[in-house]
Amino acid sequence: MTASTHSDCVIVGGGVTGTALLYELARFTDLKRLLLLERRERPAQVNSHAHNNSQTIHFGDIETNYSLEKAAAVKRTASMIVNYATKLPSRERDRIIHRMPKMVLGVGARECGYLRGRFQAFRDLYPRMQLLERHDIADLEPNVALVDGAWRKEEIVATGTPDDYCAVDFQALAESFSAQCVRIDRAADRHVSQLYGTAVSDIAKDGNDYVLQTSRGPMLARSVVVCAGGHSLLMAQQMGFGLEYSCLPVAGSFYFAPEALNGKVYTVQNPKLPFAAVHGDRDIVTDGKTRFGPTALMLPMLERYNRATIRDFFRVLNLDRDVVATLWDLMKVRDVRNYVLRNFLYEVPGLNRRLFLREIRKIVPDLRVRDIEYAHGYGGVRPQLIDRRTRELKMGEVKILDGHGIVFNMTPSPGGTSCLGNAEQDMRLVAEHLGARVDWTAFERELLTGHDDTRGVPPLAAAS
């Protein structure tokens, strides 16, 4: 690969977001020269890796921190994953998506009343969703409803689906997108290239093109899309864009228990807290384990367990009085203060298991300290952004555009779920900039129809 290489579009980042975009550009546009660059040796080795996320397809039905509007947006993009995977050969499909029960659990009169009301408000959007009473919960998740064979003392109710595609291996999904692009490259008169083990150190505008300085030498592109987590903001700010943002990396950890759940059990979100409540999930890559979490701990690094990214964190923190004021406003809320302290203690050996046990006994009440273990080496980092102008914590996806052909994506949770929907937005931006044709008929047929038909549902902006 030399400096004379001139791509129509270069994608920086080979996680599930970047590989989804490469797949959509290769499959649905007439662009001839596409290139993906990833500094790791294979796809999806950071936040998309199966160890580093909750392995959940977020449809919005069991996530009570989603409004009806946001749930509709997330449902559309989540359905695209299922529609894509269910059209694959069964062996490949079964590596990517998994069927199991899912529910959001209410414990106590207040939460049960809330869930009954939410069920009425959301049931039209989710026709398969059911209101699950105590006996229904016991049928699906006996360890949630029973303690030593007797009913647990608290009032419980849940809403959910007894059997549906709700778990995903995002690493396997990214590998599938990557493999599809290899097939397209071999079958069509075009060049769809993927270079792994290739780091990008700088991007600069040069006339109508962008010059990317990489570990393999300079490369030229007519358009660029950066899908590199917290490093997307770093690259944007190196070019003078997105300076109004500060990055606040939030690390999530997990705990393992033996096979306590058959599927996914979420809990009701505290509306005063900015992060999702702890949930339990049958792990799809670690046999015989139920995973509980994630916790939420602010860490000064852009990648979990990668100390080399500490310096990068300080470069995008942009600490000033607006950032300090935003954090101070958050910490003035008692629930937030307690939450931050609690999540710090969840990382302290000797204390963590006993303290976290109180959290997860809301889901499985008869768990004991000896039943759970800290999942060492598991967990990722969500790059939450602070808007320094408005002093707000941005909870959804953020795109930074220069208006001339480059896009920087910051995709915290549910970024994996939104990968194909996010790619749809970027494909539209790239095609409009380059004057390319998009086969929207094929796009609708392959990604918007199938297991959960979303034909006729208009594209929605990324939930925020």
10 Å CB burial of residue 361 (0-12, 13-18, 19+) is: middle
372, amino acid identity: I
Q: What is the pLDDT of residue 456?
A: 42
Residues pairing with 281 in the sheet = 264, 291
How high is the pLDDT of residue 464?
27
Which ranges of 151-210 would DSSP assign to H, the alpha helix?
170-187
Q: Which one is predicted more confidently, 49 or 186?
A: 49
Q: Which of 348, 357, 353 is nearest to 280 (CA)?
A: 357
Cβ neighbors of 286 (< 8 A, separation 6 or more) are: 256
Q: What are the residues facing 219 on neighbouring strands?
A: 212
Reported as a pLDDT band with limits 50, 70 and 90, residue 435 is very high
> In DSSP terms, which residues pair with 386 in a beta bridge?
246, 393
User: Taking residues 16-22, what's their average pLDDT?
Assistant: 97
In the predicted structure, residue 450 carries a pLDDT above the cut 90: no
Q: How far apart, in whole angstroms, are the C-alpha atoms of residue 94 and residue 284?
A: 11
The average pLDDT across 320-336 equals 89
Structure token pair of residue 347: 């990382």
Q: What is the pLDDT of residue 293?
A: 94
pLDDT computed for residue 451 by the predictor: 64
Q: Of 53-62, 164-173, 257-266, 407-416, which range is least confident?
A: 407-416
pLDDT at position 150: 96
What is the residue-averaged pLDDT of the chain? 92
Q: Residue 411 has what pLDDT?
A: 75
Note the pLDDT of residue 275. 76
DSSP strands (E only) in 339-435: 373-374, 381-387, 392-394, 398-401, 406-410
- pLDDT of residue 297 exceeding 70, the answer is yes
3-state secondary structure of 179: helix
Beta bridge partners of 266: 104
**Residue 27: partners with Cβ closer than 8 Å, 6 or more residues away:** 180, 184, 442, 446
Element (H, E) at 237: helix 230-238
Q: What pLDDT is recorded for position 452?
A: 57
Asked whether 221 and 10 are in contact (CB, 8 A), the reply is yes
In whole angstroms, what is the distance from residue 441 CA to residue 414 CA? 27
Q: Look-up: residue for tokens 């705990």?
A: 255
The 10s digit of each residue's pLDDT in 339-397 is 889 889 999 988 999 999 999 999 999 999 999 999 999 999 888 899 999 998 887 77
Strand 406-410 to 217-226 pairing:
parallel
Determine the pLDDT at residue 335: 86
Top pLDDT among 456 and 181 is at 181
Average pLDDT over residues 418-434: 96
**What confidence category does residue 1 fall into, taking pLDDT thresholds of 50, 70 and 90?**
very low
CA distance 303 to 185: 32
Please state, in angstroms and rounded to a whole number, the distance separating the CA atoms of residues 168 and 299. Answer: 26
Rounded to whole angstroms, what are the CA distances from 321 to 79, 177, 302, 310?
42, 43, 22, 21
Q: Rounded to an integer, what distance in angstroms lies between the CA atom of residue 431 and that of residue 435?
A: 6
> Given CA atoms 337, 342, 345, 347 in this order, what sign does their dihedral have?
negative
Candidate from 30-39, 93-102, 154-163, 453-462 with smallest mean pLDDT: 453-462
> What's the whole-number mean pLDDT along residues 265-269?
96
Is-contact 156 144, C-beta < 8 A?
yes
> Which 3 state secondary structure label does DSSP give 350?
coil
Contact between 20 and 170 under an 8 Å Cβ cutoff? The reply is no
Taking residues 410-433, what's their average pLDDT? 91
Residue 455 — very low, low, confident or very high, per pLDDT cuts 50/70/90? very low
Look up residue 42 and give its two tokens: 């294979």
pLDDT surpasses 90 at 414: no
Statement: residue 337 has pLDDT above 80: yes
Query: How many C-beta atoms lie closer than 10 Å to residue 149's C-beta?
Result: 6
Contact 20, 227 (CB under 8 A): no
Task: Give the mean model confidence (pLDDT) for residues 86-104.
Answer: 97
Cβ atoms of 228 and 13 within 8 Å: the answer is yes
Both tokens of 244, joined, read 């109004």
pLDDT at position 198 over 80: yes
Name the DSSP class of 290: E
Q: Tell me: the pLDDT tens digits for 306-318? A: 999 999 999 999 8
Report pLDDT for 197: 97
